[in-house]
Amino acid sequence: AQKITQTQPGMFVQEKEAVTLDCTYDTSDPSYGLFWYKQPSSGEMIFLIYQGSYDQQNATEGRYSLNFQKARKSANLVISASQLGDSAMYFCAMREGGNKLVFGAGTILRVKS
């Protein structure tokens, strides 16, 4: 069974607008962490934001926020005021119990000027 599901293979957003990238996860472990990474065309993986399963508030990091809905097992990434440099592949990932991160298939985001 897929642990991390990203249903949007590709997304377009107009520059300066907000965009939401979807992520749902599957776990029976009460303790887990959710991560979002950005991978530009250059290939490096850049950590964006983290949400712990026991965190009461949604995580925010600058223009990035995580819409964490625990009952729905979703952890959507919201990027506000999109910039051309936000064009990249975005991966949702989860760590449960142990230490490895399991990644989703990713969503390609294209920001239009």
Partner 1 sequence: GAGVSQTPSNKVTEKGKYVELRCDPISGHTALYWYRQSLGQGPEFLIYFQGTGAADDSGLPNDRFFAVRPEGSVSTLKIQRTERGDSAVYLCASSLIGGKRELFFGEGSRLTVL
Please give the Cα distance from 23 to 8 (Å, whole number). 9
Which residue of 43, 71, 72, 113 would you call a contact of partner 1, by CB under 8 A? 43
Which residue of 30, 41, 72, 98 would you call a contact of partner 1, by CB under 8 A? 98
Tell me phi and psi for residue 112, to 5 degrees. -100, 140
Please give the Cα distance from 5 to 16 (Å, whole number). 27
12 or 47: whose CB is closer to partner 1? 47
Please give the Cα distance from 31 to 4 (Å, whole number). 16
Which residue of 27, 63, 64, 105 would you call a contact of partner 1, by CB under 8 A? 105
Pick out residues in 11-40 that bind partner 1 (CB under 8 A): 33, 35
Asked if residues 111 and 83 have their Cβ atoms less than 8 Å apart, the reply is yes
Could you list the residues that contact partner 1 (CB under 8 A)? Answer: 4, 33, 35, 43-45, 47, 50, 52, 91, 93, 95, 98-106
